[in-house]
Amino acid sequence: MRLCIVALNTFKESIRNRVMINILLFALALILLSLVVGDWSMGHQVKVIKDFGLSAMSLFGLLIALFIGIRLMVQELEQRTIYVIASKPVRRWEILIGKYAGLSLTLLINIVFMTAALWAVGFVMEKTIDFGLIPAIVLMYVEILLMVAFALLFSLLSSPTLSAVFTITMFAVGHMSGFLRDYVVLYPDKGFHWLFKAIYWVAPNLENLNLKTSVVEHLQLQPHAFGYGLLYGLGYIFIVLFIAVAVFDRRDLK
């Protein structure tokens, strides 16, 4: 219950946050821009629009993770607003997860807006709504939530700047997971082989959450690809948040 109270307050904070609104407007503008970009492509206009639109949504997620996810707790700690909540009969994990849940709700609403915008653009071009995009969008939402969880964890362990660097690195490494795996297999004795191996095992494979190409190209999805991706992403989020809670629980609020 208290978790929901904190979540709703964070939701209120997010929707009154100008940065969030600006990022959303930027993403919507990018989706509309896909109409122009689509015009440049020869015969693949609709595919390019969808691809560009989904990429804009993905970029939106990364920006939110960087600008809002990192600030989620840092702002509370720096501005000392945390003193008032943490001294109430509330468990620390309820504060942390409540704030995360509030931001997740805001992100969900934003994703719904952007999906509607993408469908509207697609409808203008195709006179039909492509519901086949939904699995890719759901997994993209999970990926954004995972990035926010990482941003939150890093922000509890380091400075906002370093947290941003770590989060971007995690995003990049997560999408290069296949490359890391291949490198380790192909060059088992090369220098830094152990490091790549370690990163491969620790960092999430974000390609498990990437169905963009499949849905845009109308390719047959691998059986259980969606279900596996969903469980994989949610499992990772659970682990990252679990560590974040353990860190925050022992933290002195100076």
Partner 1 sequence: MAESVIQIEHLSKVFKGDLGRSPSVGVDDLNLEIGPGEVFAFLGPNGAGKTTTIKLLTRLLVPTRGRISILGRPSTSWKSMESVGYMPEQPNLYGYLTGEEFLSFIARLFGLGPGVRKARIAELLDRVGLKDRGKQLIRSYSRGMVQRLAMAQALINDPSVLILDEPMSALDPIGRKEFRDLIFDLKKQQKTVFFSSHILSDAEMISDRVGILKGGRLIRTGKPDELMGEDVHSVEVTFMLGPDAPNLADMGIPDALVQDSRVLVRLDRPDDLSALIHKIESHRGRLVSVVPAKKSLEDLFLAEIGR
Residues that bind partner 1 (CB under 8 A): 1-2, 5-6, 9, 12-13, 16-17, 79-81, 83-91, 250, 252-254
Smallest separation (angstroms) from partner 1 to the CB of 208: 37
User: How far is CA 65 from its chain centroid?
Assistant: 6
Beta carbon nearer to partner 1, 38 or 98: 98
Beta carbon nearer to partner 1, 127 or 254: 254
Rounded Cα distance, 112 and 128, in Å: 18
Smallest separation (angstroms) from partner 1 to the CB of 158: 12
Smallest separation (angstroms) from partner 1 to the CB of 52: 34
Beta carbon nearer to partner 1, 189 or 252: 252
Beta carbon nearer to partner 1, 120 or 253: 253
Smallest separation (angstroms) from partner 1 to the CB of 44: 44
Q: Residue by residue, what is the 3-state secondary structure of the chain?
A: CHHHHHHHHHHHHHHCCHHHHHHHHHHHHHHHHHHHHHHHCCCCHHHHHHHHHHHHHHHHHHHHHHHHHHHHHHHHHHCCCHHHHHCCCCCHHHHHHHHHHHHHHHHHHHHHHHHHHHHHHHHHHHCCCCHHHHHHHHHHHHHHHHHHHHHHHHHHHCCHHHHHHHHHHHHHHHHCHHHHHHHHHHCCCCCCHHHHHHHHHHCCCHHHHCCHHHHHCCCCCCCCHHHHHHHHHHHHHHHHHHHHHHHHHCCCCC
Beta carbon nearer to partner 1, 80 or 224: 80
Beta carbon nearer to partner 1, 86 or 239: 86
Report CA dihedral (6, 144, 71, 13) to the nearest 10 degrees: -40
Smallest separation (angstroms) from partner 1 to the CB of 95: 10
Smallest separation (angstroms) from partner 1 to the CB of 15: 9
Beta carbon nearer to partner 1, 17 or 55: 17
Smallest separation (angstroms) from partner 1 to the CB of 118: 30
Query: 69: closest CA among 139, 172, 156?
Result: 156
